[in-house]
Homo-oligomer: A and B are copies of this chain.
Amino acid sequence: MSTAEGRLTSDDRREQILAAATVVFGERGYAGGTTDAIARQAGISQAYVVRMFGSKEKLFLEVAQRATGRLRAAFREIIAGFTGAESNLERQVLLGRAYGELVADRGTLLTLLHLFGLGQDPVFGPEARESFLDVYRIIRDEAGFSAEEATQFFARGMLNTILLALRMPDVKDDPRAFELLSSSMGEQCETILASFEAQASLGA
């Protein structure tokens, strides 16, 4: 996606770099994602990536905050649409669907997962914990789930996240893999898989 445009406003360029960084950090993790790969993905020079965000660390922080922010927004949007007539089970389905749509962007999915693996980092750790808890508070206080319901919802979400990160749908021919995917993700698997196929992967 090295969109070879001309000059952009710094805000537009910023968005573009964040999108590119989400892809690269997703595929290679924080340590493995280079500013050079991000620059190439965005079609600009490596120097400009660093200059616009100050450092790779600050860039990743913004990428992570953007991902968790989008998650919060997606959940709040669904909750705002609650009529009050749904059962909590129906609400779980609606929220789960929203999560599925969000992480249909593989970069976002993987960035979230990589962030979770950075719990011991002095900078990203606190950020990761706080974001995770924020989402839990939304599900608990704003969606009105009980602790048990919320935990169950999160557990299923984490399993789905890992199954997608693993690219488990790639071995869907295996009967046990198919069973696990169906049992955990239901029909959502198809939609998300299709979306993954559509996403360009980084060159070697």
Contact = CB atoms under 8 A, between A and B. Distances in A.
Interface of A: 27-32, 110, 113-114, 116-117, 119-120, 125, 128-129, 132-133, 136-137, 140, 147-148, 150-152, 154-156, 158-159, 161-162, 165-168, 170-171, 174, 176-177, 179-180, 183-184, 201
18 contacts: A27-B120, A29-B32, A31-B32, A32-B32, A113-B113, A116-B162, A119-B165, A129-B177, A133-B177, A133-B180, A140-B176, A147-B183, A148-B183, A154-B159, A154-B180, A154-B184, A158-B159, A159-B159
Contacts of A148: 183
A122 to B, nearest CB: 10
Nearest to A165: B119
A79 to B, nearest CB: 17
Nearest to A27: B120
Given A29-B30, A154-B159, A171-B133, A117 B113 contact: yes
Contacts of A158: 155, 158-159, 161-162
A181 to B, nearest CB: 10
Number of copies: 2
Nearest to A32: B31
A110 B118 CA distance: 9
Given A147-B179, A148-B183, A158-B155, A132 B168 contact: yes
A180 B153 CA distance: 11
A133 B174 contact: yes
Nearest to A114: B117
Contacts of A179: 140, 147
A31 B184 CA distance: 30
